[in-house]
Amino acid sequence: MTASLTIDTELDQPPVCVLYLSGELDYNTAPRLNQAIETARASGCRHLIADLTDLDFCSSSGITAFLAARKALHAQGGTLALAGLNARLDRIFRLTGLTRAFPIYPTAADARAAVPTT
């Protein structure tokens, strides 16, 4: 079974950008998320929003990728917000205390509205 992950990057409003993830985020596909985040950061993105509405599956490797990105963005005064978590992912995030690590919003638009403007 080959897991697939699609990432669409919306970079039009730097320093805010949105990554739309769909499919499965696991050990095999997590490097692509790392890469997409690196690319976004290289393009001037400081406040990254990951829209997970269409993400069916997120393994611990996916969580690790988000945590690593969070740390790198924080070091530059940036933020990483997650939006659109499905019920299962929401449960995992609550189960593991990750809701403390990431601001979580119902939608990417909500997350965008909450980005610090300074």
Partner 1 sequence: MSVDVGVPESLIPADEVRRLAAVRRYAVLDTPPDGAFDRVAALAARMLDVPIATVTIVDTDRVWFKAKQGLGEDVTEIGRDPGLCASAILHSQPYLVTDALTDPRTVGNPLVHGELGIRFYAAAPITTPDGYRLGTVNVLDTRPRQMDEQGLATLADLAAVVMDELELRLAAMTTVRLERESRLRAEADQQRLQVINATLQRALLPPRLPQIEGLAAAAYYHTASTEHVGGDFYDLFALGDRRWGFFLGDVCGKGADAAALTSLTRYTLRAAATYDPDPVSVLANLNTVLLQEYVHDTPRYCTTLFGMATLTSSGLELTLAGGGHPPALIIRAAGMVEWLHPEGGDLVGLFPDASFAVAPARLAPGDALLLYTDGLTEARVAGGSLFGDERLQHVAAGLAGAPADQIIAALQDLLTGFGPGLADDTALLALSVPPSTP
Using CB under 8 A as the criterion, which residues of the chain lie in contact with partner 1 when the complex forms? 1, 3, 26-27, 57, 59-61, 63-64, 67-68, 71-72, 95-98, 100-101
Query: Could you tell me the two tokens for 3?
Result: 């897991």
Q: How far is CA 22 from CA 4, 53, 89, in A?
A: 8, 7, 13
Is 95 or 113 the residue whose CB approaches partner 1 more closely?
A: 95
Spell out the alpha helix ranges (H) of 12-54. 30-42
Is 27 or 106 the residue whose CB approaches partner 1 more closely?
A: 27
Is 56 or 110 the residue whose CB approaches partner 1 more closely?
A: 56
Kindly state the smallest distance separating residue 64's Cβ from partner 1, in Å: 5
Kindly state the smallest distance separating residue 75's Cβ from partner 1, in Å: 8
Query: Could you tell me the two tokens for 77?
Result: 């005064």
Element (H, E) at 13: strand 5-13
How many CB atoms lie under 10 A from the CB of residue 96?
A: 12
Kindly state the smallest distance separating residue 85's Cβ from partner 1, in Å: 16
Kindly state the smallest distance separating residue 45's Cβ from partner 1, in Å: 16
